[in-house]
Amino acid sequence: MTAQPLERHWPRQWADDELRLLWEFLTFLRITAVNKLAGLDARAAARAPLPTSPAMTLVGVVKHLTAVEREWLSIVGGGKDLPSLWTEDPEFDWRLTADDTPASVVVEYQREWARSEAALYGKAAGDAAARTVNGRDRTVRWLLAHVVQETARHVGHMDLLREMADGSRGE
């Protein structure tokens, strides 16, 4: 089953609220990731065309981004008691199962968006994350900036993967 494209809007140009701007950029990138996967059948979306990165597929990138959001925003930022999607295997969240389709991973990704936003609801940019990582505190600002950069980096990978899948180019 294919994923459907989502309508996307650029963040406000005259943003006066730092946290809102970070959320808007993250939303823009999330939708870009979904749209890179939209319209492809399961086979094309699961193709790993880069010999040096055999786990990197369009579906796998979205699974990874779901794990990133859960870990950094819901668990670390909001202190939610959720199972981590990461294991000792660094490529675990990239690996596909028989149930992973473009539509199914997008549904899970969108569920994670809601969890992430709920986990950080009411927090200010300078508030400390609920949990430390390796003994280091982080602010909500840092967490959101980190997830924005991680998502942007992987959307860049998705640009190339989508072009290799069907020749589609652009944002």
Residue 5 lies in a domain: no
Which residues lie closer than 8 Å to 23 by C-beta, 6 or more apart? 117, 144
- What is the predicted pLDDT for the residue at 13? 75
pLDDT 10s digits, 48-64: 999 999 889 999 999 99
Task: Give the integer Cα–Cα distance in Å for 34 and 108.
Answer: 11
Torsion on CA atoms 100, 106, 108, 114, rounded to nearest 10: 170
DSSP at 123: -
Residue 76 lies in a domain: yes
Counting the structural domains of the chain, the total is: 1
Residue 75: give the domain boundaries: 18-166
Residue 71 lies in a domain: yes
* CATH code of 148's domain: 1.20.120.450
Residue 13 lies in a domain: no
Q: What is the pTM of this model?
A: 0.94
User: Using 50, 70 and 90 to split pLDDT, how confident is the model at 44?
Assistant: very high
Residue 4 lies in a domain: no
φ and ψ of 128, to 5 deg = -75, 145
Residue 148 lies in a domain: yes
Residue 7 lies in a domain: no
